[in-house]
Amino acid sequence: MEQPLDSDWYRACADRQNTYDNVSTNQRMENNPVENNFITRFILGFAVIIAMMIGGRAVGGVLISADIPYGDWIGVAIGAIAVFGVFAVLYQRYDESYNTT
């Protein structure tokens, strides 16, 4: 059952959906060379996983040497999340430089 478009909220949602539908998937990702190739996406993903392991080990080592209980587990979690957060921000800025639509 379709909702009546009698309020501004429903109109805004419908307009947003129409705008999204008018942009094809190829238009959204065709300019970013990383997104166009499966191999580059795989290599980038693998590199991020390796960086998360290294960052987690570094923070875990610091917490272990400080004699914090469960420092290895806590450090790995904090380090991996921090590395992923930095990567997500940088990759979003990189991707936005290609998306001009």
Lookup result for tokens 């990759």? 91
pLDDT digits (tens, 9 = 90+) for 81-93: 999 999 999 999 8
Rounded-to-10 torsion of CA 76, 43, 45, 59: 20
* pLDDT (0 to 100) of residue 6: 59
The average pLDDT across 68-78 equals 92
Residue by residue, DSSP assigns the chain as -PPP--SHHHHHHHHHHHHHHHS-HHHHHSS-HHHH-HHHHHHHHHHHHHHHHHHHHHHHHHHHHTT-TTHHHHHHHHHHHHHHHHHHHHHHHHHHHH---
* pLDDT (0 to 100) of residue 29: 46
Is the pTM higher than 0.75?
no
Is the per-residue pLDDT at 44 higher than 70? yes
pLDDT digits (tens, 9 = 90+) for 6-43: 566 666 666 666 555 555 544 554 578 888 888 999 99
